[in-house]
C-alpha cells in the first residue's frame, strides 16, 4: 500500500482567499516566431489528505483509515503562441465553484491563462474527502484552502514544462463496461421515495437479476475519446481520456482511493512503456451510468479487482486508438464560457415543517434511514439555498476537436445530444466541471422520478435545467467554430 505524508500544517501554509472573476479570452505570452506552433506541458500534484478525514460518496459519513493510492490533480497546458488552455482533473467526488474559482484566480495570476480557458473537473471517485457538503459529509476548510493551491500548482507546473509538441485525437469504443442504472420495473414493485410518495416510475440500481426489471430507462455512451500529446521526437507528454462511466467502486473499507481513474493511468503507463508522462481520465456524461449489469448476477469480487479489470480493458482501447492517431504540430486553441441563471426547486413551507417533525422524532443524527437523511436535506435546502443558482457552461476548441462541460452529474442523454448537434468532430463532454450543481437529469427523467431527481443538495436545479445547459454548450461551440 502507498502512504501519504501530507499534514495539516502544509494545508495552512498553502492557504489563500479570494474569489475568481471570469474574464474574456486573451492571447497568451509566447516566444517570437512561434505563432501557431503547439507547445504542451503536463504535471501532477498530490492532494491526499491525512488519515481520519471524512470520505464523500455515501449518504452517511465515513472516516479514512488507509491510503490505497494517492489522490492527485493531473493537469495539461496547451499553447499555440496566440492562446493558452489548461485542463486540470481532480481526484474528488465533486468540487464546488468557490474552490475552483479561487484556483482559477491563482492560475490566471501565475500562468496568464484566463479563467474561461481553464477547465477544472472532478473525476468522481467516491473514496476521497468532500470538497463540498455532500449529504452528511462536511468539507474541512483547511483541506479546501490547500486544494485551491494544489490545483493552481498543477497548472503552473504544466505551464513551466511547455515544450514544442504535436497533438492528435481519436474516438474508440468500449461497450462492455457501461450500463444505464435506471430501470422501468413491473407495476407496484418500486419502493416509496424518501418523502413517502409512490410516484416513481423508474428505479435506480434495482436488485441485480430481479425478475421485476422490465428494461433500462435510457441509453449508454460507449465512445472513448483519446487526445494524445507528444514531444516532437515522439515521447508522450500526456494522454487525455474521456469515458462516460460514473465510477467503479469496490474499494477497501475506509480507504482513500482515486478509484479506476488512477488504475487506468497506471495501466496506460504500463502500455506506453514510458513512465515520464501524464495520463488523465475525464468523466463523460455519466449521471445515470455505472458499470453493473443489473440483468445478470455476478460473483462477489475482492476489493479493487473490478477497478483493475475496468481500468485494463479501457486502457487497452485507449492505447489502441492512441497508436492510430495522426499528429499535427499546429492547432487552433480557444475557449469560451457562459453563465446560466437557473431556478432552484426549494421545498414548500409545509414540507419543511414535516421534515422538522421527522428529525425531532429521529434525534440528532447522524442518520442512516433514507427518510431521516432526506428530511435533513429538506431543512438544509430551506435554510441555505437561494431561489436561483448561477453556474457556468464552458467549451474549449483544440483544432477540429471540442470539449464541452456540464457543472454536475449529467445524464448520458445530454452528452449524446451535444455530440450529435456539435459543429466539431469529435466532441468530448466532461461533467462535474467548474462547479457542482448535483444531478442533471433530462426533463423526461424528472417526470419518471427516481433517486437522481429526489430533491436534495444532490439534485435541486429546476426540471428544465438540462435543455438550457445543452443549448448553452451548443452556442459556445458555435461561437468557437
pLDDT at 452: 98
pLDDT at 221: 98
Model confidence pLDDT, tens digit, residues 185-244: 999 999 999 999 999 999 999 999 999 999 999 999 999 999 999 999 999 999 999 999
Which band of pLDDT confidence, cut at 50, 70 and 90, is reported for residue 430?
Answer: very high
User: pTM (2 decimals)?
Assistant: 0.92
Model confidence pLDDT, tens digit, residues 306-331: 999 999 999 999 999 999 999 999 99
Question: Could you tell me how far CA 421 lies from the centroid of its own chain?
Answer: 22
CB-neighbour burial class of residue 14 (10 A; exposed 0-12, middle 13-18, buried 19+): middle
Over residues 249-254, mean pLDDT: 97
The rounded mean pLDDT for the chain is: 93
Chain position carrying cell 410518495? 197
Model confidence pLDDT, tens digit, residues 85-115: 999 999 999 999 999 999 999 999 999 999 9
Q: Classify residue 328 by its DSSP letter.
A: B
Q: Which three cell numbers stand for residue 91?
A: 481526484
Q: Which three cell numbers stand for residue 332?
A: 487552433
> Does the pLDDT at position 12 exceed 80?
no
Q: Which three cell numbers stand for residue 331?
A: 492547432
Over residues 405-419, mean pLDDT: 98
> Does the pLDDT at position 24 exceed 70?
no
Map residue 140 onto helix, strand or coil.
coil
For 417, list phi and psi in degrees, rounded to 5: -65, -45
pLDDT at 36: 83
Q: Which three cell numbers stand for residue 29?
A: 505570452
**pLDDT over 90, % of the chain:** 91
Q: Which three cell numbers stand for residue 209?
A: 437479476
Whether 390 contacts 101, CB under 8 Å: no
Whether 225 contacts 318, CB under 8 Å: no
Over residues 107-133, mean pLDDT: 97
Chain position carrying cell 473490478? 306
Which band of pLDDT confidence, cut at 50, 70 and 90, is reported for residue 1?
Answer: very low
CB-neighbour burial class of residue 233 (10 A; exposed 0-12, middle 13-18, buried 19+): exposed
Q: Which of 203, 252, 251, 221 is nearest to 445 (CA)?
A: 203
- Counts of helices then strands in the chain (DSSP H, E): 10, 23
What's the CA gap between 366 and 375, in Å, rounded?
12
What's the CA gap between 229 and 182, in Å, rounded?
37
> Does the pLDDT at position 30 exceed 80?
no
Secondary element (H or E) of residue 161 = none
For 109, list phi and psi in degrees, rounded to 5: -70, -40
Q: Which runs of E-coded beta strand occur in 82-189?
A: 84-90, 118-122, 163-173, 179-180, 182-185
Alpha helices in 231-303 (DSSP H): 260-272
Q: Which runs of E-coded beta strand occur in 186-235?
A: 202-204, 213-216, 223-231
Q: Which of 89, 151, 110, 117 is nearest to 22 (CA)?
A: 117
Whether 92 contacts 131, CB under 8 Å: yes
Amino acid at each position: 500500500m502507498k502512504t501519504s505524508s501530507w499534514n495539516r500544517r502544509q494545508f495552512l501554509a498553502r492557504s489563500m482567499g479570494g474569489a475568481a472573476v471570469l474574464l474574456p479570452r486573451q492571447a497568451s505570452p509566447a516566444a517570437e516566431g512561434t505563432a501557431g506552433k503547439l507547445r504542451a506541458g503536463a504535471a501532477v500534484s498530490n492532494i491526499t489528505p491525512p488519515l481520519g478525514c471524512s470520505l464523500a460518496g455515501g449518504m452517511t459519513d465515513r472516516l479514512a483509515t488507509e491510503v490505497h493510492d494517492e489522490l492527485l490533480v493531473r493537469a495539461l497546458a496547451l499553447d499555440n503562441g496566440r492562446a493558452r488552455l489548461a485542463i486540470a482533473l481532480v481526484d474528488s467526488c465533486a468540487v464546488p465553484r468557490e474552490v475552483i474559482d479561487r484556483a482559477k484566480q491563482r492560475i490566471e495570476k501565475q500562468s496568464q491563462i484566463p479563467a474561461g480557458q481553464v477547465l477544472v473537473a472532478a473525476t468522481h471517485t467516491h473514496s476521497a474527502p468532500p470538497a463540498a457538503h455532500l449529504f452528511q459529509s462536511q468539507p474541512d476548510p483547511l483541506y479546501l484552502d490547500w486544494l485551491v493551491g494544489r490545483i493552481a500548482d498543477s497548472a503552473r507546473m504544466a505551464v513551466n514544462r511547455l515544450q514544442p509538441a504535436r497533438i492528435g485525437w481519436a474516438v474508440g469504443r468500449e461497450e462492455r463496461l457501461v450500463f444505464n442504472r435506471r430501470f422501468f420495473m413491473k407495476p407496484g414493485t418500486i419502493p416509496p421515495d424518501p418523502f413517502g410518495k409512490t410516484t416513481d416510475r423508474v428505479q435506480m440500481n434495482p436488485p441485480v437479476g430481479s425478475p421485476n426489471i422490465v428494461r433500462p430507462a435510457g441509453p449508454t455512451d460507449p465512445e472513448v475519446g483519446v487526445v494524445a500529446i507528444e514531444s516532437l521526437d515522439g515521447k508522450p507528454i500526456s494522454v487525455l481520456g474521456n469515458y462516460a462511466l460514473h465510477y467503479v467502486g469496490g474499494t477497501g473499507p475506509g480507504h482513500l482511493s482515486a478509484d479506476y481513474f488512477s488504475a487506468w493511468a497506471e495501466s496506460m503507463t504500463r502500455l506506453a512503456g514510458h513512465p515520464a508522462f501524464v495520463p488523465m481520465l475525464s468523466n463523460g456524461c455519466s449521471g445515470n451510468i455505472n458499470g453493473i449489469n443489473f440483468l445478470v448476477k455476478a460473483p462477489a469480487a475482492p476489493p479493487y479487482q473490478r477497478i483493475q479489470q475496468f481500468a485494463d480493458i479501457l486502457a487497452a482501447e485507449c492505447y489502441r486508438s492512441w497508436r492510430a492517431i495522426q499528429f499535427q504540430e499546429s492547432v487552433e486553441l480557444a475557449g469560451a464560457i457562459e453563465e446560466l441563471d437557473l431556478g432552484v426547486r426549494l421545498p414548500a413551507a409545509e414540507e419543511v415543517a414535516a421534515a422538522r417533525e421527522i428529525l425531532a422524532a429521529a434525534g440528532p443524527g447522524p442518520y442512516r434511514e433514507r427518510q431521516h437523511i432526506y428530511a435533513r436535506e429538506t431543512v438544509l435546502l430551506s435554510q441555505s439555498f437561494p431561489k436561483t443558482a448561477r453556474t457556468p457552461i464552458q467549451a474549449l476548441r483544440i483544432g477540429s476537436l471540442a470539449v464541452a462541460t456540464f457543472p454536475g452529474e449529467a445524464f448520458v442523454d445530454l452528452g449524446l445530444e451535444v455530440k450529435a448537434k456539435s459543429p466539431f468532430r469529435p466532441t468530448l463532454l466532461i461533467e462535474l466541471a467548474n462547479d457542482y450543481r448535483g444531478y442533471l437529469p433530462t426533463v423526461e427523467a424528472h417526470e419518471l422520478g427516481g433517486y437522481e431527481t429526489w430533491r436534495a443538495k444532490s439534485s435541486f436545479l429546476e426540471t428544465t435545467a438540462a435543455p438550457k445547459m445543452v443549448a448553452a454548450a451548443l452556442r459556445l461551440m458555435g461561437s468557437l467554430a
